[in-house]
Copies of this chain bind each other. A is one copy, B any other.
């Protein structure tokens, strides 16, 4: 008999985590014009910041993620943070060594200033009046939190999808403040087909009569439109092979042949749509997808103003079955980095999981990422 715990892995989980709010009463100017008169940024940290503050890693989230990157608030939470399989003690992003930061993005709906927040000028939620934003705005706001924590230079920025785009913006706009970036499942710009998919998901929201030009009462918003828009987005996160493996042509048990809606894949997507609506705001969806669609670093890359030999090291990670941000886009990113002498590498994860592959454990990515972070 041993006195070790029966489930040694659970002994290595993050202790219960808590979010905090960074509040600034300064106006926050926006890239496309206008400003937010004040800013709240909800964030979480994991691990311990070294006295010289050299071990901080920022993990920007993807479209529907948030500041809750890892761990549980309470032991009986049904789910941990969205990247718990990569962030924690002894994990790829090892919180025994690194101080990890997650920040809910500006325009989001999980605590940071966004369409659901009260506009201090009116006392009422911004709603449809929330301004258009860019990923540059989102990164500039994150940087306020990083500065607030006293960190002059991040050890790394690591992000997938929209998070990877933010890592690229850190690299372009604040190259002296980041040691290395890992860009997963993203490219130098949002492709026209990815824009098209986002455009249709927005059309689903905007044509819901309850959208009212964005001026809906929270809780009485365009839930149907947002659910369908999310169903579409969800398709783009998977791959033909994962659809085949997860659902095949299986029917919902008990459905009659002439029943009009009887595919398991249909039922799964409906469920995804319904559960998304419970945690996401339609105006946030519109603002953030538009910010992603505006993302375009190709001109800066071509002009040699994205990567620099004395700037951050780069790891580009592609996922073989990702059709939203195909591996060709990550290889272009690598080419742009190596062309100007950056210490850069490309790693391809062979997976049937599609774009969502970056969220999954057991793809071999953890080992590569761990090595990259040094």
CB-CB < 8 A to A246: which residues of B? 192
Against B, the Cβ 8 Å flags (1 = close, 0 = not) of A241-269 are 00110111100000001101101011001
A233's nearest neighbour on chain B, judged by CB, is: B200
Report whether B203 and A263 are in contact in the complex, using a CB–CB cutoff of 8 Å: no
Are the CB atoms of B260 and A191 closer together than 8 Å? no
Residues of B within 8 A of A192 (CB): 240, 243-244, 246-249, 263, 265
- A residues 176-228 with Cβ under 8 Å of B? 189-193, 195-197, 199-200, 202-204, 207-209, 224-225, 227-228
Q: Which residues of B contact A199 (CB under 8 A)?
A: 231, 261, 263, 265-266, 269
A33 proximal to B (CB < 8 A): yes
Given contacts A191-B244, A232-B232, contact A131 B258 (CB under 8 A): yes
Partner of A231, one of B34, B132, B190, B203: B203
Complex interface: chain B residues within 8 A of A33 (CB): 257-258
Identity of the chain B residue whose Cβ is nearest the Cβ of A287 in the assembled complex: B260
Pairs across A and B, CB under 8 Å, 8 listed: A131-B258, A192-B248, A199-B266, A200-B232, A202-B261, A203-B231, A260-B290, A323-B323
A342 contacts the other chain (CB 8 A): no
Q: Is A169 an interface residue (CB 8 A)?
A: no
Q: How large is the interface on A (under 10, 10 to 19, 20 to 34, 35 or more residues)?
A: 35 or more
Q: Which of A268-298 contact B (CB under 8 A)?
A: 269-270, 273, 286, 290, 293, 296
Question: Is residue A303 within 8 Å, beta carbon to beta carbon, of the partner chain?
Answer: no
Asked if A136 is an interface residue, CB under 8 A from chain B, the answer is no
Taking CB atoms, residues of chain B closer than 8 Å to A235 are 193, 196-197, 200
- Residues on B with C-beta less than 8 A from A197 are 235
Contacts of A239 in B (CB 8 A): 193
| Interface flag for A326 (CB, 8 Å) | yes
Instruction: Give Cα A314–Cα B240 distance, bound, in whole angstroms.
Output: 26
Shortest distance in angstroms between A192's beta carbon and chain B's nearest beta carbon? Answer: 4
Question: Is A1 an interface residue when CB atoms closer than 8 A count as contact?
Answer: no
* Contact partners of A231 in chain B: CB under 8 A: 199-200, 203
Contact B132 A249 (CB under 8 A): no
Cα-based distance from A231 to B231 in the complex (angstroms)? 15
The answer to whether B258 touches A32, judged by C-beta atoms less than 8 angstroms apart, is yes
Decide: A249 near B131, CB < 8 A? Known: A209-B209, A228-B204, A258-B33: no
Instruction: Determine whether A103 belongs to the interface, using a CB cutoff of 8 Å to chain B.
Output: no
CA distance A265 to B190 in the complex (A): 13
